[in-house]
A and B are shown apart, each in its own frame.
Chain A
Amino acid sequence: MALRGALSAAGRRWAQQRLCCTARGDTIFAVSSGHGRCGVAVIRTSGPGSRGALRSLTGRPELPPPRVLALRRIRDPATAEPLDRGLVVWFPGPQSFTGEDCAELHVHGGPAVVSGVLRALGRLPGLRPAEPGEFTRRAFHRGKLDLTAAEGLGDLIHAETEAQRRQALRQMEGELGRLYQRWSETLTQALAHLEAYIDFSEDDNVEEEVLSQVDAAVRALEQELGAHLQDGRRGELLRGGVRAVIAGPPNVGKSSLLNLLCRRPAAIVSPVAGTTRDVVEVSLNVTGYPVVLSDTAGLRDATDPVEREGVSRARDRLQRADLVLAVLDATAVPAEPAGLGAAVGSLVPPAAPCILVLNKADLLGGDTGALRAACARGPPVPPATLLSCKTGDGIDRLLELLGQQLAQLCGDPLAGSPSLTQSRHSQHLGDCAAALARYGRHRARDLGLAAEQLRLARRHLGRITGHVGAEDVLDIIFRDFCVGK
């Protein structure tokens, strides 16, 4: 081929270097343990950086033989601080789950160890936390995915992204959330104005001063971000634990249920300050899982303004709940599955994990067979039980159901955990700050390249605050400028 002949030897050498370079790609990692809060957490990496990551974390130049478990001391390569002793496995591609080079670290399941390992991985060049579904997508692209599993995988990803969404929502409530939100708005506005300057200034009244405003905004943001990052991982610590919310119409025994759960030896109670007037919150430990349980105002169309506020807070809680304990009056519900499902559906946000508690079972007359059958039916009825808060009948079954749900929710001990969320955040904030610094460098030379850095910065921030698309930028442009022929 003539073209190839035209390449000099130097060109070929360069091209080979480039080949290695483009083959590099990035490497992702995530916790991928199985169900239950077992003693071992599995952290997996996929991508060409897996080899280096395994070497760095074990501190040994040689890798264990492929696909054989090896016991290794695991340390943070940055500080040489030991993190754990655990089993590691090396799966060179293509014989791995994703078809890429993969490594697995089986470490002790405590959050401190796991987040320590994740932080160490995140600091390695070319490694980053996996996005939801990313392992699966990679496996798919390399023809490795068994599609009978795809549906299940989809559901798991759904659960995980939901957990992350709820976690992010909580994070966004606080001061930190407001801060990120403000940064995101500043950045989107700066980008929109810069884009307007690029797309319209020659023909329309987009003036030079827009540019100096953008510069000032970017500089200020860069400084603020820098200071924030220097501040270490201060952030607001979030209380870990599954957020469970008791919800239901008024007078069905929601508060009795809370008290009952608190009184049981299975639940260790510690009252927490800051409970609002109408949302009562306690921290419990249910069958080994940390739970933050809230009792909310009865859900109904209230007329009294105070009660209305209580109901609106209850609904707010429900939106953020990891698990809902829907309480209904056993004497007032239809005894067939469809009706029961509909009654729950009217209370609980769709797709939220839920346990149905039919309280006041002691008031039911003789024949409870139909109702019990409906409870055991499965969808559309969520896991359900009859209970009498008064006599305590049915509490064992409730705790069993709770245990099952919690095991599922906590299957991945770190999905949506505060520490993981925070380490992701600091990584994205760091990348965002780096892009802002590059903006300054490109600014005088090439506005297109400078804008590219703002786009990058915004994408990193967007990973924390939620996605912002090209249309949002256009919206700001058309709101702020009079453009057009």
Chain B
Amino acid sequence: TMPNSYPALSPEQKKELSDIALRIVAPGKGILAADESVGSMAKRLSQIGVENTEENRRLYRQVLFSADDRVKKCIGGVIFFHETLYQKDDNGIPFVRTIQDKGIVVGIKVDKGVVPLAGTDGETTTQGLDGLSERCAQYKKDGADFAKWRCVLKITERTPSALAILENANVLARYASICQQNGIVPIVEPEILPDGDHDLKRCQYVTEKVLAAVYKALSDHHVYLEGTLLKPNMVTPGHACPIKYTPEEIAMATVTALRRTVPPAVPGVTFLSGGQSEEEASLNLNAINRCPLPRPWALTFSYGRALQASALNAWRGQQDNAGAATEEFIKRAEVNGLAAQGKYEGSGEDGGAAAQSLYIANHAY
């Protein structure tokens, strides 16, 4: 067990990974998670009455990626779905190039969805390890410098079980190790769903257990922490919990959980929005960045729905609306860029899509 005589990475490989990670979470920047699978996009598009075709998905991503230089200061990375990585805009320019030309790092979702763990109460692990190394090598050639893999855990009377925690932590560590071998920064996402009526403390307890297991697994698998990012849930009550908590309470529970489990070597924590409304996601991130506890990592966003809901709503599949839709996206991006620095003062408006809860029960994408 003992030799460091088999280092997983050379110093040059480590530097490359660390530099990529730091670029993504540079001060004031976060991630646009635009990696919705075909199935997830179906749900989004059906909400605005748009047919789920490859062309519509292309047109929609074009709305986001045609954002002007204002996004350079608040978006450090964009996560793509496989299909999108090879799509082009109306002028034939690959989306990858457009994003890279803005100085934004390109990422790719590499997991292949959840599968059941037999003998558990409906728990899952995530597949996608087979041939992952070859896929990563190809993605790296095709412009991707980071990847994302989502594991899912849920809170009930008896879950997450020890098996679910261990298995998901292990699969995340294997994924992370393989990514790093191929020059790709792994974003490690152990999402604990907000489904349920549990309170804030319960979520905090579970989050601490899950993250401790994740970091032990990463250590066991010789993953270079400085070349990773974490994408966790914020610590929140369950969606059906009758108690309401303020952003400050959420921030305190979240930062406490992270301080107890995430080593300072991790350069950034990029929260998922998990069904929070756009405004909630911004207010909570802002409170996290104003939390009085010392925070040695960047605390920023990796938002899907919470960056796109208003844009999607403004677009509604109409090309005439594209400009306005892009503006909605830029607006949320800038707001979250401020929240990532604790500088967001709040919208003061009860905007329609912004406040509407984006919760979809038992979300899987």
Q: Report whether chain A binds chain B.
A: no
Binding site for A on B (CB under 8 A): none
